[in-house]
Amino acid sequence: MDLLERTPNPNFTEEHLAFRDTMRKFVETEIEPFAAEWDEAEGFPRELYKKAAEVGLLAMGFPEEYGGLETDIFYLLIGAEEMARSGAGGVSASLLSHTIGAPPIKNVGNHAQKEKYLPKILSGELISALAITEPSGGSDVANLKTTARREGDHYIVNGSKTFITSGMRADVYTVAVRTGEPGMNGISLLLIDRDTPGFDRTPLKKMGWWASDTATLYFDNCKVPAENLLGIENQGFQAIMLNFNYERLWLAAGCISAARTCFNEVTGYARERMVFGKPLTEKQVVRHKLVQMAQAVNASQAYLDQVAWRIEQGEQPVADICMLKNQATETMEFCAREGVQIMGGAGFMRGPKVERIYREVRVNAIGGGAEEIMRDLASRQLGI
């Protein structure tokens, strides 16, 4: 049993808790024992997708008629939190890349598109990825430059995308393209299959998330059927923004759980590590560091649960989602930094969860909307 457990959420039912138990067993048996090995290998077996599908992890939040489970927001929190317990953010990022790649299919796709892709994605047969970020800019989505020109019953796509999670191994990509005027009103979403002529990709090396497959994508006169347009032409920006809110909530939940994981691993180490004849926990400075870590985790968890409850009531508290995302990444950074410091040389060596989490801090503070963008968006929503 962990010393610092998740603070109780009064909105969790017996069904939520049963799902948590299932997820915890899945992570403990199928991910945690292999996390360090997969990080070094910079990838994980494709069969893990089907194993994740079997426990319902891939199906959350998608319509039942396409193989999904129409769950509430609290299931999403549980999934993110339990996945983060392994300290293997890269595995979670790529295994669940469909949670950002497939929602536009669900939200704005037609029945034929949903029927073609969703059942195979949710069963782990197909891997889905989202392609928005470009070499010229990340958070400035409204000014993306990849173009899609309509020619008869096809779009001709030219441009590139970068930092794309599951960019190498994905089977289908939800790609943001410019089909109209400059700005947000000229953006559309296209589904592009991996074997489309003119489409190529190259892998990227990263600071953290080593087990996550990340790539740059290239489109050179890539011929995409017009029937692969998601929703209405030039109205893709709204679908992208809706996607971001849930991505940020998932990231926040995972970061807070990762911070808690740091606390639990480091506390266990400090109780056993002898310094000058006494355990590290006998040192006041170490005990105070651990208390500060627990305090930050519990405060951030309360904020997360409050925002999730408001969303479940039908609100879209954009400012709080942005501030929560930053609060969560700052908590993760603090706990990872203090955790490595307490463990000393052992924390600097590859293997401990805290070492992997430390390397993953910056990608969480950048991905899904950089900290600076989050503050600016929150300030506008607050009328500052």
Catalytic residues: 247
Dihedral in degrees, nearest 10, Cα atoms 95, 113, 73, 260: 10
Q: How far apart are CA 110 and CA 123, in angstroms?
A: 20
Q: What gap in Å lies between CA 331 and CA 283, rounded to an integer?
A: 23
DSSP per residue over 3-53, as a string? Answer: SSPPPP-TT--HHHHHHHHHHHHHHHHHTGGGHHHHHHHT---THHHHHHH
The tokens for 345 are 């040389």
**135, 147 contact by CB (below 8 A):** no
| Whole-Å CA distances, 4 to 264, 273, 326 | 6, 19, 22
Rounded to whole angstroms, the Cα distance separating 343 from 363 reads 23
Give dist(CA 244, CA 318) in Å, integer.
10
- Spatial neighbors of 151 by CB under 8 A, at least 6 apart, are none
Confirm if 77 and 304 have CB atoms less than 8 A apart.
yes
User: What distance lies between CA 150 and its chain's CA centroid?
Assistant: 32
Helical (H) or strand (E) element with 178: strand 172-178
- Residue 187, classed as helix, strand or coil, is strand
- Main-chain phi, psi angles of 276, to 5 degrees: 55, 40
Number of residues that this document lists for the chain: 384
Q: Pick from 342, 353, 241, 332: which is nearest to 283 by CA?
A: 342
* Coil vs helix vs strand at 99: helix
Per-residue tokens: 242: 């809706």
